Amino acid sequence: MLLLSLLISTSNYVGAERCQSCHPQAFQTWQQSAHARAFEGLQTDQKKQTRCTVCHTLTPDDLSQPLAGVQCESCHGAGRYYSPHYVMKDKELARAVGLVVPNEQTCKRCHDGSAPNIEPFDYAKAWARIAHGKQ
Ligand code: HEC
Ligand code: HEC
Ligand code: HEC
Ligand code: HEC
């Protein structure tokens, strides 16, 4: 049962490449950000530790490259059901099947007091460094 539910939850992620096909600019911004490299930056032993992967990759259940790092879906929710075009065009439907419009609280799930940064998390400044939208 546990394995089955893991398989189901993992398969709901589609990976950033899929989003790229319709959101090339958001993808480019993301690819150049620290988020895209959050998993590869860990050392080999750390890559196997859930206490690190919980914030440094999309899901500890699938560490393969297409889902590695802090991905679109780490903030926007698992995309399997909202990524088809006809769903994406319908804001209400997209939200109903999992699309998250992230806010400061979304960031703070990972950017909390335990992250290695002396300065407290400043949403406006942090967002300016990863800002993307429209396409
Ligand atoms: C088949 C094309 C397609 C794919 C694939 C796709 N999108 Fe979209 N997305 C759209 C379209 C079209 C819109 C609506 C744009 C508009 O009306 O301004 C949209 C809107 C959005 C919005 C804004 C929604 C809102 O209501 O404010 C977000 C966020 C988003 N997409 C994220 C994603 C993410 C993350 C992925 C990958 C998991 C993804 N999209 C995959 C086409 C796509
Ligand atoms: C609660 C979420 C969270 C957990 C758990 C976590 N990290 Fe991080 N980590 C972050 C965030 C957020 C940053 C970025 C901090 C910043 O620069 O604002 C970060 C940054 C880093 C960096 C880059 C530091 C730098 O100075 O550039 C390394 C390396 C790192 N983490 C390693 C680890 C390791 C190893 C573990 C497991 C022992 C771990 N992290 C667990 C959230 C987390
Ligand atoms: C670290 C979290 C995070 C990641 C990673 C992320 N986004 Fe976003 N995204 C946001 C936030 C926050 C907003 C702004 C939401 C708002 O206030 O309208 C946003 C906005 C958007 C919008 C615009 C919505 C609109 O109304 O214009 C699209 C499209 C989008 N993101 C797609 C993507 C795609 C595609 C990726 C991956 C290539 C991605 N995002 C990665 C947090 C993230
Ligand atoms: C799933 C966990 C997670 C979420 C959610 C998240 N981040 Fe991050 N973020 C990280 C990690 C991990 C790093 C460090 C990556 C590295 O350097 O290896 C990071 C790094 C960053 C950096 C680069 C810091 C630097 O000093 O270069 C910015 C900016 C940032 N995040 C902004 C945001 C914003 C804004 C949001 C919310 C819209 C957000 N993050 C949501 C995990 C997360």
Residue 39 CA, ligand 2 centroid: distance in Å: 10
Q: What is the pLDDT of residues 28-80, one digit of tens each?
A: 999 999 999 999 999 999 999 999 999 999 999 999 999 999 999 999 999 99
Residues in contact with 78: Cβ distance below 8 Å, sequence separation at least 6, in sequence order = 9, 12, 13, 14, 98
Q: What is the pLDDT of residues 9-36, one digit of tens each?
A: 557 999 999 999 999 999 999 999 999 9
Q: Position 68: which residue type?
A: A
Give the number of whichever ligand sits closest to the CA of residue 69: 4
Rounded to whole angstroms, the Cα distance separating 60 from 3 reads: 13
pTM metric for this prediction: 0.95
Q: Whose CA is nearest to atom 29 of ligand 4?
A: 126
Residue 56 CA, ligand 1 centroid: distance in Å: 24
Query: Would you kindly state where each structural domain of the chain is located, as residue ranges?
Result: 16-130
| Domain 16-130 annotated CATH 1.10.1130.10 | yes
